[in-house]
Structure 1
Amino acid sequence: MLYHADMHSCPPEQLAIQSEMGAHQGLAHLCLKQSHSLCKRNMNEFLFGYGLLLPPRNFEGHWSLEDKKAFTEIKSASPAYFNAYILSSIGDVDIEWVDSLSCHMEFDPYLNKLFLFRYPSFCLANIPSDDPEQSEKSTIYACATSRDSIGGQWATKADVSHMLQEIILSYRLLFGQNKASRQLFQTLTPFENIPENGKDTFLEQLCGRKQYQSNPNGPKQERETYDLSHDFSILRSRLLPLLRHLASKKPRTWKQLWEDKRDSASWLTFWAVIIIGGMGLILAMLQTVLQIVQVIQH
């Protein structure tokens, strides 16, 4: 679902949605209630009353100065250096699975919690096929708008297609393209307390397998490095806080030091110093032992 309806928290003259993210709201949940009379508006204008559910490409929201700086400075993301395992082990980020598409890739910096949509097959099912009669017929496309509506702050139909593809690709970025992250996914329980017929097997294909059976309507070819402005132009605003959070974290254990290759030059320098220095210490100790043996023999 796009939003999670809240049927019992407001009077009949209001329509409310639930936030599955606790105190964290994000741009898609700026307002949780609005008047029932606003139903007369176009779908996109009505949904805009709750927040920016469908942002346009490369939308720069009303962020902090740090986020605006990151928007201009952080250009790419690589599954080798930005993935669920590194976010969990070095970034101390917890993952919570949600039912609402509007919460996908939202990050709560106060609780270090990342919210992920648990039903990616919804996205795959709604991406238009090559058949003109089937193209853009799903409900989510009825929520799109033209570029000149709502001040250019809402997605067009083309943007919606791109967003659905990006969401599917985001699971590959976080899990599927990294071995440690795939192993991490096997320890997670995205469908805890959900009946068997309510589970999405496509999620396991995306997150738990090195390769998955792609769909003609699915996302484009995977890359070793993704250009955020092109490959994740819709989710860019949600990826940047995560990237900035991870950039501020440093490894704390020897294992994390070995696995953290985000700065390959520093990584090579550090371990070269450790190895060469360690060998020097061992040779010095051996030389000392030999000298002691020689003294004893004489």
Structure 2
Amino acid sequence: MPRFRRRAASMGDIELQGASQSGDANKHKNADEKDAYTTILECWFGLSNQELRGWYPGARSVCCYLETCFLPLLSDEYAVVWHQLDRQRPRVAADCWRLFSDTCAAVRNSQDESTSIEDVWKRVCAQNMGPLSPSTPSPSPSPRRGGPPLSHKAFDACYISVFSILCWATMALQPKLSWSDFKEQPGLMVCPRGLDHDFQPIQSSVQRPIHAIFRQFCRAMSRSRWRRPIGEARTERPAALEVACLNFASLRDIAKINPLWVSDLASHLDFDATTRQLSVYRFPTFCALSCVGEEKGLSVPVFRDLLRELYSSRITTTAEPIQDPYNHTQLHQEIILSYRLLFGQKHASRRLAKIALKKLREERRADEYDELLDLLCAHPHDKKIRQLPASLWPVTCRSFDGHVQEQGSYSSQDDFPLFGQRLAKLQEFTLRQQPSELWDLWRDRRNPLQWYTFWAVLVFGGISILLGILQLGVGIAQLAVALRSPVG
């Protein structure tokens, strides 16, 4: 019996050791994955490991999302990209990070505003294999290896991959890479939400400055009564953006508007009146890292010009244009502040935000969910919100201590110079909706003064009517008693 116990104990020790080794292996695997993503993020945003530490959970979700975007690069159509770089064709999406980092490094090292997609591709090739061999004039550069020149279609894949990485690195637009999306010939394409025209021919685009390409997409953005481009020219009279009208509880209960979580900045706060869907960007950590990097002067000129052409070039005041670096930071700051305006400032909105975020978490992979959404959308204004860096908020909404100063109303020109017109149109649409049921009247608090007045009149008026009925009943009862009593 003692021998059996000793043997059982030894087997238990072996199992515990195996479990411990398995746990250590998983721990090392997660640490290696974190180190790999940290290296990518350092190259991407120019921040140190220490500066990235507090943002890692959300930053990892951005990286995991991009890995799903990399999947088309594994197809046969993009095999020429890896052939040109003299690399083994990747088998998993994570193997595409080197191309992403090399492209970001090539753009970051470029100080020329006229840098084109072709220039970036040549720099990426040079980083991997040294200087390029002499080539024929673009768009038919000679191949890296010996043999016959590559076809236009082969180099189209290289240029499309660079364009896609530019879109992903800035999160400005969502590119299309699947060859099945190209009808007649390959081109630079983006997802069509909010765009009237989503295609640009490659051969006429790759030698143009990168910001000029994105300017064309900017001009193609849809414009309608309720759909406005980001950074639309300011009106003479700024609109007061009321939290009571724009909070998510009012949007959903009164205007029947639901959030649509999107992955590109251009779609943020884009409102489709037909489907009653409001697009909301789902990676606030990307905006936070951009704000931190821009505060330290680490913004990339090419990326800054790209975003300027998409949004900032139309931002002017009566005096003079706002400086571009300020606009570049302002874009991400306004997005972060908009989460508080829509979801975080009202208790009812925070409650509904938790439900919406739970649904988002269930619909997406767990590692693609940005946990910063929980803090910005479903958390009251307390110590955790005040601990966020001051660089995350627009200057007009900061207190003296650098904390966010939440207000009951915001200015469409001062607080939201880029997204102000989108919010103003959303507010206008919401104000046009009228409650159809008594319960909707109770929940409709878009105009607090009107709400209190209505219910005060209803309550006190109802009490007065009730007292009048009771008084009438008492009078009738007294009269009945008087009639029944004998005449003395």
Corresponding position: 1:31 with 2:205 = no
1:293 and 1:185 map into 2 onto residues whose CA distance is 55
1:1-298 map, 5 Å? 1-8=171-178, 9-10=181-182, 11-19=184-192, 21=193, 25=194, 29-37=195-203, 38-51=205-218, 64=225, 71=235, 75-129=239-293, 132=296, 134-137=297-300, 140-145=303-308, 156-188=324-356, 189-211=359-381, 212=385, 213-219=387-393, 220=398, 221=404, 222-298=406-482
Structure 2 vs 1, CA of residues 97 and 144 (structure 1 numbering), >3 Å: closer, same or farther?
Answer: closer
- Relative contact order, higher structure (CA 8 A, sep 6+): 1
SS at match of 1:97: strand
Give me the CA root mean square deviation. Answer: 3.2
2:368 and 2:226 map into 1 onto residues whose CA distance is 42
1:150 and 1:72 map into 2 onto residues whose CA distance is 18
Structure 2 vs 1, CA of residues 193 and 138 (structure 1 numbering), >3 Å: closer, same or farther?
Answer: farther
Instruction: Looking at secondary structure, tell me which structure has more strand per residue.
Output: 1
Farther-moved stretch of structure 1 (264-273 vs 184-193): 264-273
**CA drift at 1:260:** 2.4
Structure 2 vs 1, CA of residues 72 and 266 (structure 1 numbering), >3 Å: closer, same or farther?
Answer: farther
2:235 and 2:442 map into 1 onto residues whose CA distance is 29
* C-alpha distance after superposition, 1:104-156 (max 9, x if no partner): 10000111111111111111111144764x5313874251459xx97879993
SS at match of 2:445: coil
* C-alpha distance after superposition, 1:10-38 (max 9, x if no partner): 1554111113x4xxx2xxx2321111121
Q: Which runs of 5+ in 2 are unaligned?
A: 1-170, 399-403, 483-488
How many percent of aligned residue pairs carry the same amino acid?
A: 24
How many corresponding residue pairs? 281
1:52 and 1:181 map into 2 onto residues whose CA distance is 34
Structure 2 vs 1, CA of residues 277 and 131 (structure 1 numbering), >3 Å: closer, same or farther?
Answer: closer
Structure 2 vs 1, CA of residues 100 and 63 (structure 1 numbering), >3 Å: closer, same or farther?
Answer: same
Contact 1:96–1:113 at 8 Å: present in 2 too? Answer: yes
SS at match of 2:206: helix
SS at match of 1:210: coil
**CA drift at 1:296:** 3.1
1:166 and 1:182 map into 2 onto residues whose CA distance is 19
Contact 2:239–2:411 at 8 Å: present in 1 too? Answer: yes
Contact 1:4–1:17 at 8 Å: present in 2 too? Answer: yes
* Aligned equivalent of 1:58: none
Counterpart of 2:239 in structure 1: which amino acid? K
Counterpart of 2:347 in structure 1: which amino acid? K
SS at match of 2:392: coil
TM-score w.r.t. length of structure 2: 0.52
2:433 and 2:451 map into 1 onto residues whose CA distance is 15
Contact 1:176–1:208 at 8 Å: present in 2 too? Answer: yes
Contact 1:30–1:50 at 8 Å: present in 2 too? Answer: no
SS at match of 1:127: helix
1:174 and 1:152 map into 2 onto residues whose CA distance is 23
Structure 2 vs 1, CA of residues 174 and 31 (structure 1 numbering), >3 Å: closer, same or farther?
Answer: same
Structure 2 vs 1, CA of residues 239 and 82 (structure 1 numbering), >3 Å: closer, same or farther?
Answer: same
**CA drift at 1:39:** 2.2
Instruction: Looking at secondary structure, tell me which structure has more helix per residue.
Output: 2
**CA drift at 1:175:** 0.3
2:327 and 2:264 map into 1 onto residues whose CA distance is 19
**CA drift at 1:266:** 2.8
**CA drift at 1:256:** 2.8
2:270 and 2:250 map into 1 onto residues whose CA distance is 17
Q: Which of 1 and 2 has greater Rg?
A: 2
